[in-house]
């Protein structure tokens, strides 16, 4: 039976591995981390990605651990005045056939990893070299081990090793933006007379604070505070930050977001990187998804969503053509995805989503398991 290797078991890699396995494909997934850790903090799961997860089999568990915000509020950073709102009520859920959730990234990740066939997941496997030939792909790992597979899916993120086979291997560039991230105990805010809304973003011209609950118990608030940063040390993923530095940058913000920042526990500072979407997402038997081919800033909360949607469309494309025609499948996959991804990447880069009340229909209505594969019609003509 032909074998597929997924490189990287982050959110996108875990999702496509489960989707492929549940569709009957033979899949192995290699992750460079030494073991699974529930890393990260909050993540938004909008209706489009909740629907994309339908074949992963975690719906009930995900609903049980997630916060279900009743509104997405946008407020003026200085006055606190509401400038836009998106009501996330039962009418919203019925319209888009799925809820809007916020959840702890690590807990969400764990649900997907637990659905992977245990014997197919190997940790501590850092890819060193990838060598395609006419019949398959050799994988050489830094521990000296090897594998030979029929297809490789690069889900190895922003610093992907796999992408060097598909396109020019240029490193991502620092965007000129960074963000403070931290958790806040709700009880501490309550003692100060503050009861935060479910999901709020405060906007100024060049900075923002977004805060939301990230679990069903609603005992912690997670925030991201974005600001201009003109340089970042190369190779550093994040820095420990002093709360005083953060408070100085946001000192002119309204008292509620400022009090949320003051109540933070440990604060870290993260860079925002970017790279234009690649013109080629595949080459031969190798294909990319998620940040490996179209990284985006986090301002629409769609980075993981786009990777998971990628996975669903890639699975459907492989089901359509079979593994004997992988280049045809990859062509269908990219043609189906590229316009949507480009639009999300553009709006994410602008940081304009929800600054005025949007019509989210184009984003949230999508159901990647039931919408047409837009390039399917090319099969008879091109191949």
Catalytic residue among 30, 44, 104, 213: 44
Active site residue 44: yes
d(CA 240, CA 266) in angstroms, rounded, equals 8
Whether the CA torsion 7, 10, 15, 17 is positive or negative: it is: positive
CA–CA dist 363, 358 (Å, integer): 10
CA Rg, the chain, in Å? 21
Contact yes or no for 87/100 (Cβ under 8 A): no
Is there a catalytic annotation at residue 138?
no
Report CA dihedral (206, 362, 9, 312) to the nearest 10 degrees: -170
CA distances from 296 to 43, 93, 96, 235, 292 (A): 15, 26, 24, 18, 10
* CB crowding 221-253: b at 16 or more within 10 Å, else e: bbbbbbbebeebeeeeeeeebebeebbebbeeb
Nearest to 223 by CA among 190, 191, 199: 199
CA distance 293 to 330: 13
Contact 305, 11 (CB under 8 A): no
CA–CA separation, 30 and 154 (whole Å) = 10
User: Of 30, 100, 212, 222, which is the active-site residue?
Assistant: 212
Rounded Cα distance, 164 and 169, in Å: 5
62 φ/ψ angles, rounded to the nearest 5 degrees: -65, -45
Q: Which residues are the active-site residues? A: 44, 212
């Amino acid at each position: 039976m032909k074998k597929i290797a997924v490189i990287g078991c982050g959110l996108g890699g875990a999702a496509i591995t489960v989707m492929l396995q549940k569709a009957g494909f033979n899949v192995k997934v290699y992750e460079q981390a030494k073991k699974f850790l529930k890393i990260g903090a909050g993540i938004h799961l909008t209706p489009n990605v909740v629907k994309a997860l339908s074949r992963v089999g975690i719906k009930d568990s995900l609903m049980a651990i997630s916060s279900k915000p009743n509104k997405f509020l946008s407020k003026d950073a200085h006055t606190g005045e509401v400038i836009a709102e998106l009501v996330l009520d039962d009418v919203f859920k019925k319209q888009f056939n799925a809820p809007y959730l916020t959840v702890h990234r690590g807990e969400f990740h764990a649900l997907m990893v637990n659905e992977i066939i245990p014997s197919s997941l190997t940790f501590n496997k850092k890819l060193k070299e990838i060598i395609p030939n006419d019949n398959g792909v050799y994988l050489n790992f830094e521990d000296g081990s090897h594998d030979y597979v029929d297809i490789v899916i690069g889900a190895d993120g922003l610093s992907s090793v796999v992408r060097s086979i598909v396109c020019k291997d240029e490193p991502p560039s620092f965007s000129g933006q960074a963000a403070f991230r931290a958790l806040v105990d709700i009880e501490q805010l309550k003692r100060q007379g503050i009861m935060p809304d479910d999901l709020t973003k405060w906007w100024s011209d060049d900075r923002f604070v977004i805060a939301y609950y990230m679990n069903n118990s609603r005992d912690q608030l997670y925030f991201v505070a974005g600001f201009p940063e003109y340089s970042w040390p190369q190779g550093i993923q994040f820095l420990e930050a002093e709360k005083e530095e953060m408070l100085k940058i946001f000192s002119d913000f309204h008292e509620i977001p400022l009090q949320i920042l003051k109540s933070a526990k440990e604060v870290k500072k993260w860079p925002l990187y970017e790279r234009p979407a690649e013109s080629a997402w595949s080459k031969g038997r190798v294909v990319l998804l998620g940040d490996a081919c179209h990284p985006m800033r986090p301002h629409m909360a769609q980075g993981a969503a786009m990777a998971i949607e990628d996975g669903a469309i890639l699975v459907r494309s492989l089901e359509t053509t079979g593994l004997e025609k992988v280049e045809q499948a990859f062509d269908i996959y990219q043609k189906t995805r590229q316009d949507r991804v480009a639009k999300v990447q553009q709006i994410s880069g602008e940081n304009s989503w929800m600054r005025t009340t949007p019509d989210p229909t184009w984003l949230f209505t999508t159901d990647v398991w039931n919408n047409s594969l837009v390039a399917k019609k090319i099969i008879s003509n091109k191949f």
